[in-house]
Structure 1
């Protein structure tokens, strides 16, 4: 793992803390920074950053979620 990938990994892991403790906007900011640091180079760190960013952004917009993944009070529905 290169130093750049280590930074991306650390930022993405750091973003998981506020995401798991109810602060998705802070998590989205950190994960977005991790994605920016990753650039367009594929790596495990970049994949983690993208996944955390997507979850954080979707969690901030739970009412707009297309299915029940982020809304346990709503049943899952088939994709259109």
Structure 2
């Protein structure tokens, strides 16, 4: 079973791919400028889809910040009734 998605979990996943501590990741920083590449974004898409959040590579690439990703992911979690 997959762990539920949380903001801290999203930050930790990004930090792992950037070889940083989660506390070093700025939620508003442009992750592409920080060194996150398309292959790593694709790995995050797959990870989060396995957790039930239906997101696409393009959606993440258009807004490459932890804060924007969390807004998108949290709205798409299973059991969310917002649409």
TM-score with structure 2 length normalisation? Answer: 0.31
Report which structure shows greater RCO (CA 8 Å, sep ≥6).
2
- Computing the radius of gyration over CA atoms, which structure comes out larger, 1 or 2? 1
Q: Larger helix proportion, structure 1 or 2? A: 1
